[in-house]
Amino acid sequence: MSIITNETRIFRRFDLHAFLHFLGRGLYSIFVPILVLKNGYSLTYAFLFLISVFVVMLTTTVANTRLVRFKKIFYFNVLATLAELGLIIFFSVNSPQPLVFIALFICEGLYYAFYYVAYRSIMIHNTSAAHVVTNMGNLAIAAQFASLLAPFVGALLLTAGKPFLLLTAALFILVSLWPLVSIVNRPLDIDTHPKIAIKTVMRSLLAYGFLRALEINLFWIWAIYVYLDGLSLAFISLIPVSTAAATILVVSGLKRIIIKPFWWRLAVAVGALIIILVSVWRFFAGSFLTLTNFAASVGFLLALVPLETRLYSSFRGHDIYHAAGLMEIVAGIGALAVLLLAFTIGLKAALLAPIILAPLMLFLAWKSGIANDGGK
């Protein structure tokens, strides 16, 4: 197969990959901690699973940024796929077993470490500065369009039985490798690009870490909480469906205006405010599930798109593996911190964590934005 170099054609293939991959993974991703519970593990073990996933992800990502210099990035996608297939296989074991539990969190941690370093490396390497917002937006829309359908189908398949769910997911994840072959089956150029000075993007990275912590709180911790509160899997599937609908609507609008400093700051501020309001509502009321899930997704995306756009733009012209690794490391630290907090203070109390996390994210994002824009 010939190598594709045109940016538009590359991202058409990458969009197709994202659609197929997240259609497969979306069948069960929101249910991963719930599958742990359904397999007979306690809530403590469910938290231990999630915490261990990000410990494995962080340690592997640090190693990846060194080892990847001698590999093709396509191998990372293959390794991520193998790790996720391992997770699917081990989830088929219906009784709690120590070795199976260890294998589960190792496989999921390896998936996050390999897949998202590759995902971000391909994005940073192939996009031009002029098209970073458009390419990132189209990619997000492709992934979330798949997510509109996947959770409903996943809930139905999970009701019918785990084998149907897991086999279907494995098929889509395997097929998703095909569009990548022509665009990443070669080493990416890293020798001529220096590593970015971390201090130049420190505030943006910290804001991104807080935002990823908010993501875990708004969606994963909330999903566990409502599941233990007796909500059906079909209703829980509305969480990623709401996120997908919000992504398609919000990103389509933001990618046209987010390059302007005023709109950049306004989007992050409104996003932080929405996240706080949703968190307070969930703690005291918890009703209107679909509406609050949609609102949480809108708030999250209003902050995510500007932050990721700025980070991707800042990383252009630098060592892309190092840059992608930095993003994954701060995301993992943020996720690990909020999971440890929820494990310590309890699920209910953790619902209010965004009251603190969102303002911190906003402060750091604004400070980084003002610095990059020269105070405009």
Are the beta carbons of 305 and 311 closer than 8 angstroms?
A: no
The answer to whether domain 7-373 has CATH 1.20.1250.20 is yes
Distance, in Å, from the CA atom of 26 to the CA atom of 7, rounded to the nearest integer, reads 27
DSSP H helices, the chain, are 7-25, 32-38, 43-67, 73-91, 98-126, 132-160, 162-175, 181-184, 198-215, 222-228, 233-236, 238-257, 261-284, 289-315, 320-345, 347-350, 354-373
User: Is residue 194 very low, low, confident or very high in pLDDT (cuts 50, 70, 90)?
Assistant: confident
* Sequence-ordered list of residues with C-beta below 8 angstroms from that of 165, at least 6 positions apart, any chain: 27, 28, 154, 157, 158
User: Whole-angstrom distance between the N-terminal and C-terminal Cα of the chain?
Assistant: 48
Q: Which two tokens stand for residue 326?
A: 């930095």
Cα distance between residue 254 and residue 231, in whole Å: 33
User: 370 is written with which tokens?
Assistant: 């003002």
In this structure, are residues 210 and 30 in contact, taking their beta carbons and an 8 Å threshold? Answer: no
Chain mean pLDDT for the chain: 81
Q: Is the pLDDT of residue 117 over 50?
A: yes
Measured at the alpha carbon of residue 218, what is the angle toward residues 215 and 224, in degrees to the nearest 5?
115
Contact 321, 271 (CB under 8 A): no
- The model's confidence at residue 1, banded by pLDDT at 50, 70 and 90, is very low
Q: Domain-by-domain residue ranges, the chain?
A: 7-373
Q: Using one digit for the tens of pLDDT, what is the confidence trace for 123-141?
A: 777 777 677 777 877 787 7
pLDDT digits (tens, 9 = 90+) for 74-114: 778 888 889 988 988 888 888 889 999 999 999 999 999 88
Pairwise pLDDT comparison (329 vs 240), residue with the higher score: 329
* Of 274, 281, 272, 283, residue with least CA distance to 349: 283
